[in-house]
Amino acid sequence: MSEPLNIFQQTRKHLKTGNFTFLSTQVAAWQKLTKLVQPLLPQPEQWQVVCYQNGVLMLTGENQALVSQLAYLQKQYITQLSQIQELKDLNKIQVRLRTPSQTTPPPEKVSEPLSPETQEMLRNAADFVNDPKLSQAMLRLASNKK
């Protein structure tokens, strides 16, 4: 077996740019690998290659069952994935659970003003309530104050 090639080894030319070029190259390589391995891994899942170094491929997925399946059947997937030229030195797969990414924040609730009839009903109900705090809360709600 040949000595694994470390494609992410730093060279002198990366030092001047604060390693930005080096990191950009790593990320681009991982994105390329992600596209190559995605169709060969358990579906439906959006797998992400986190790292590939020294024959170890690290992947993340959001589905616990599929992450476990991939870890359990690792040897079969190594055989299949090592057919890809970029992964010919693959000898181990590490799988981690990724927390689901939330692309958009939850929408904020927009409260609409209460109709005059509803406001009047709340004021009348506040008069009948014996609890002073509840009565005050109902009056505040009726007046649409926060």
Percent of the chain with pLDDT over 90: 5
Does the pLDDT at position 11 exceed 80? no
CA distances from 94 to 25, 65, 136 (A): 22, 15, 59
Domain residue limits, the chain = 12-97, 108-146
pTM, two decimal places: 0.54
CA-nearest of 24, 77, 22, 87 to 56 is 87
Contact 109, 115 (CB under 8 A): no
Q: Which CATH number fits domain 12-97: 1.10.357, 2.60.120, 2.30.29, 3.30.300?
A: 3.30.300
Distance of alpha carbon 37 from alpha carbon 32, whole angstroms:
9
Cβ neighbours, 10 Å, residue 20: 10
Does the pLDDT at position 13 exceed 60? no
